[in-house]
A and B are shown apart, each in its own frame.
Chain A
C-alpha cells in the first residue's frame, strides 16, 4: 500500500516542519498557527508538478528553522511569492515542499530622508508602493503582471518600461537577507546606497529563480515620485521594411536627443503597425518643455498626453500563451521587430512584440492555441535574431507541448561557473531543482 506509506511519511514530515517553525514563534511545539504547515492541494502545484507540503514561515528565523528541518529531511523545495509568475522557468524536477512568503510581509523601515526602504520579501509590490507614496517616494520597479511580491520580482528579475531610467532590481537592491538551503541566514550589502564591503550577493540572487536560497528581506534605494509625467506617442502605420525602418529612425532620434526619457517603448501588435511611446518624468516645467521637443522630433503624428496607452507595462501575452523575452543591443531593436513579423508571416502564427526599445529588452507573445511545432520553429528563429543582435531569446512561459519542443533558456555564457556556484550554495540540488538555466 504505497499510498498510505507516503501519507504517513508526509504527516511525520509536516510534524517535524511544524515543530521547527513553532520553536521560533514563541508558541511551543503545538501552537503553530493552523495552515502554517499544511498538506499541499492541487492549487499548490508548481509548473504542473504537485507538491506534498506547504509551509509559510512568519519570520526569517522561522524560515531558517524550516529550511534547516527541510534539509534534514532531504526535501526538495520551491519558494512561492504572489504566484503571478510561477509558470516561468522549467517545472521543478522534484517537489516536496512549497515555502510561501505570504506571512513575510510589511515594511520594516522606511528611512525617507535616506531614500531607502527595508521590506519583507512577501510584500506585494503594489502595497510597498502605496506605503511609500505618502512620502512622495517610490521603488523604481514596474509590476508587469500585477500581484507580484517584492521577493518574486527579485527572483525573476522582473522589470518594466521604466527600467530605462531607474534600472532593474540589480541597480536598486542594496541589501538582502537570505536563508540558505542548509537554513543558515546570511546578509549582504546594507542600508546605504554606496557600499563596496564584501561580495554583492544581492546581485547573485537576483534573477536566480530561488535556486540559491530564500530571500526574506530586501533593502532598496528609492526615488522621488516625479511631479509630472507625459507620454508622447507616435504611430507608424507603414508595413514591411518601411515600417521597421521608420521605427528605427524614431528610436535613434529619441536616443540621440536630450530628452532623458523614463521609458521608450515600442508596441508591435500582431495586427500590424507600430506604436513608439516615450515617457517623460520630472518637474512640470521640465516635462512640458521636453514633451514639446519630443513631439517636434517625432513628427506630425506625435501626440503628447498624460495617459499611458492600454498596453503599457504589460507583457504581450495572456495566461497559457507562449511568452518570450528578447534582448539585443539598441541598434538591433528594429531587427528584432522585423524578425518577429517575418516569423509570424512565415509560420502563420500571430506574434505580438512589445517592450523597452530604449534598453533593448522586448517581449513576444504567441497564442496558446498555436501549433507547437510552429511555435518551436519561431523560437529558434527569434533566437537566431537575438544572437545576431548580441542578446538572447528566453522562453519565460509556454504551454506544455511547446516546452516539450524547446529549450526555454537557450545558450548561456558562463554556465560551468554557474553550476559551481549552485553546487556550493545547494550541494544536494534541493532548491527549485531543474527550474533554472542548464537544468540548475
Chain B
C-alpha cells in the first residue's frame, strides 16, 4: 500500500474524528502489533479509535473508498491472532466504545457497546440478581465485541452455552460502512439469523458497535468440589459417569499432574498431593435440585476412585479451587521458558484414548505437554512446553501442536473450541472441511464483504475473490479417503 494512501486516509480521519482518535506514529503503532498470541507481530499502517458507532462507520467507509483493509480489535486478548493487524491496513480499536447503555433485569437483557469488558456486564447486572453467563478466563479484560467476534466460551459454557447463545441483537458496521441492525431485543427475529452468522465470524463480516445480550438469573445455590484421582483415565471415567447419570454440571474442569505442578508453583492453590489428575465439578441452580445432584456427583467421584474430595465451604474456598485452574495457562511459565496454548475439541468419551495418544506424540518428540481442559465438553487445552533456546525445540513443539489438532479432527472433533481460527489456524481449517465446505462459507463472506477488506487473511487459508465461481467437487475429503474420519 503506497504510503501516500495511508497518509491521505490519516488526514481525512483526523479531520473527521479528531487528532486523538488517530495514531500513525511508529512508536505508538507498535503497541498494537499483536494480540494475545504474541508470536505473530505486524505493525498496522494506522490505528483509529472511534468513540461512536457513527465514527466507526465513518472509518470503514473511508477504508472502503481508499480500498484499504481494516481489522477490528477489542481488548486484544484473543489467542488465535484474530486481531493481528494488517501491515497495509487500518486497525480499528473499539476500546473507546465502552458504555453500558441499558441493564434491563425485567427483560433479562443488557445493551452494551463492544468495548465494554465482559466482567463489567456481570458487575452491572449483579445488583439486580442477574449476570452475563459466558465467562472466558480473560473475562476481567476481554471485551464483549471481541467475545462476539470469537464466539467466546468459558468454563461454564457446558451448561450455559457460548456467546452465540447469549446475543439477541447487534448493531454492526458492514464492510461497506453501513450501520445495520440485526436481530433485536426479542428472540426469533424474522429473516435469516444473521446474528447467528455474525457471532464467531472473527471480524470478517463487519464490526459490532452495539450488542444486546441475555442476562441470566444468579443461581440460588452453587456447589463446587475438587476431586483428586491417581490418573487422568480415572478422572475421565468419573466425568463420563456424571454425564451418564443425567447431571448437567455448570462446569467440569480437569488438570493433569504437570498442569497441577505448574499451578502450585505459580499460585500455591494447595491441590491434593500426588494427584495424577484433579477435577473441579461445579453445580448451580435451585437449592433443592443442586443438593440432590451434588450428592450424586460426590458418590460418582468416589465410585471412580477419587482418593480425596474437597467440598468448597464458601465462596473463598471455591475461588481457591478455581484459582489453580484459571491461572494454569500463565502458570506453565514457571515450569517452562516457552509454551504453546493449544485449543482442540474431541468427543468427550474419547478423552482417555486421546490423552494417551498426546502422551505418546509428546514422548516421541521429547516435548512435555501439560493438559488443562473443559472435560465436560471435550475441549482440550494442551500446553506444549519448550525452550526456544534449545535448537529445534520450537519447531518440534509447533509440529506437535499441529499433530494434536490432527488427532482431534481424526476423532471427529474440532481444531478450535473457543480460541478461534484467526491467523494461527487458518492453515488447519482444510483438515476439518472440504473445499466445497470452505467455498460455501465464502458465499456468506462475499455477501457481506465483496471486496475482502474486513480482516482479510483470517480464518480461511486461501482467500478467494468474490467474483470467482465456487469450485466443483473434487472427490472425497482426504480424511475420508484415509479412513480417519467421516465428514458426517
Contact (Cβ within 8 A) A111 B448 = no
- Contact call B417/A195, Cβ cutoff below 8 A: yes
Please give the distance in Å from B81's CB to the nearest CB on chain A: 14
Q: Number of B residues contacting the other chain (C-beta, 8 Å)?
A: 95
**1/0 contact string of B361-382 vs chain A (CB within 8 Å):** 0000000000000100111000
Q: A194-B378, A412-B190 are known contacts. Are A390 and B347 too (CB-CB below 8 A)?
A: no
Given contacts A187-B437, A203-B164, contact A224 B248 (CB under 8 A): yes
B466 to chain A, nearest CB (A): 8
| Contact of B243 with A113 in the complex, beta carbons under 8 Å | yes
One of B180, B184, B441 near A198 (C-beta < 8 A) = B441
Are B440 and A180 within 8 A (Cβ)? yes
Of A114, A417, A424, the contact of B348 (CB 8 Å cutoff): A114
Is the pair A187, B434 in contact by a Cβ cutoff of 8 Å? yes
Interchain CB contact under 8 A, A198 and B437: yes
Of the listed residues B432, B440, B444, B473, the one surrounded by the most CB atoms of chain A closer than 10 A to its CB is: B440
Q: Which residues of B contact A187 (CB under 8 A)?
A: 433-434, 437, 487-488
B residues lining the A interface (CB < 8 Å): 104, 106-109, 129, 150-151, 153, 157, 161-162, 164-165, 174, 180-194, 196-197, 199-201, 217, 219-220, 240, 243-244, 246-248, 285-293, 345-349, 374, 377-379, 412-421, 425, 429, 432-434, 436-441, 443-448, 459, 470, 472-473, 487-488
Contact of A196 among B290, B421, B472 (CB under 8 A): B421
| Inter-subunit contact B193/A206 (CB<8 Å) | yes
A134-161 to B contact mask, C-beta < 8 Å, 1/0 = 0010000000000000000000010100
Cα separation A167 to B378 with both chains bound (whole Å): 21
Considering only CB atoms, which chain B residue lies closest to A199 in the complex? B441
With A114-B378, A201-B441, A204-B192 given, name 4 new contacts (CB 8 A): A194-B378, A196-B200, A212-B192, A391-B184
Q: Which residues of A contact B (CB under 8 A)?
A: 108-109, 111-116, 118, 136, 157, 159, 167-168, 170-171, 175, 177-178, 180, 182, 184-188, 190-201, 203-204, 206-208, 212, 217, 219, 223-227, 252, 255-256, 258-260, 282-283, 285-290, 293, 325, 327-332, 359-361, 386, 389-392, 394, 409-410, 412-418, 420-425, 436-438
Query: How long is the Cα–Cα vector from A331 to B157 in the complex, in angstroms?
Result: 27
Closest to A218 in B: B488
**For the complex, what is the distance from the CA of A136 to the CA of B416, rounded to whole Å?**
30
Q: Could you write out 7 A-B pairs with CB less than 8 Å apart?
A: A167-B161, A190-B414, A196-B151, A199-B197, A226-B246, A227-B246, A418-B192
Beta-carbon contact of B190 and A409 below 8 Å = yes
Which residues of chain A are near B194, meaning CB under 8 Å?
A: 204, 414, 417-418, 421
In the complex, A332→B389 CA distance in Å? 63
3 tightest CB-CB pairs across the interface, nearest first?
A203-B196, A289-B288, A286-B289
Q: Which of B174, B292, B446 gathers the greatest number of chain A CB atoms within 10 Å?
A: B292
Contacts of B181 in A (CB 8 A): 413-414
CA distance A423 to B192 in the complex (A): 13
| B191 close to A414 (CB less than 8 A) | yes
Distance from A431 Cβ to chain B, minimum over Cβ atoms (Å): 13
A329-B244 contact given A197-B429, A200-B200, A204-B197, CB 8 Å threshold: no
With A331-B107, A415-B191 as given contacts, are A286 and B447 in contact (CB-CB < 8 Å)? no
Q: Tell whether A421 pairs with B180 under 8 Å between CB atoms, given A207-B192, A283-B289, A410-B190.
A: no
Chain A residues with CB below 8 A from B109, complex form: 329
In the complex, chain B residues whose CB is within 8 Å of the CB of A177: 488
**Distance between B352 CB and nearest chain A CB, rounded to angstroms:** 12
Q: Can you name the residue of chain B whose Cβ is closest to the Cβ of A356?
A: B187
From A225, A290, A361, B289 is in contact (CB under 8 Å) with A290
Per the bound structure, the CA–CA distance linking A77 and B51 in Å amounts to 47
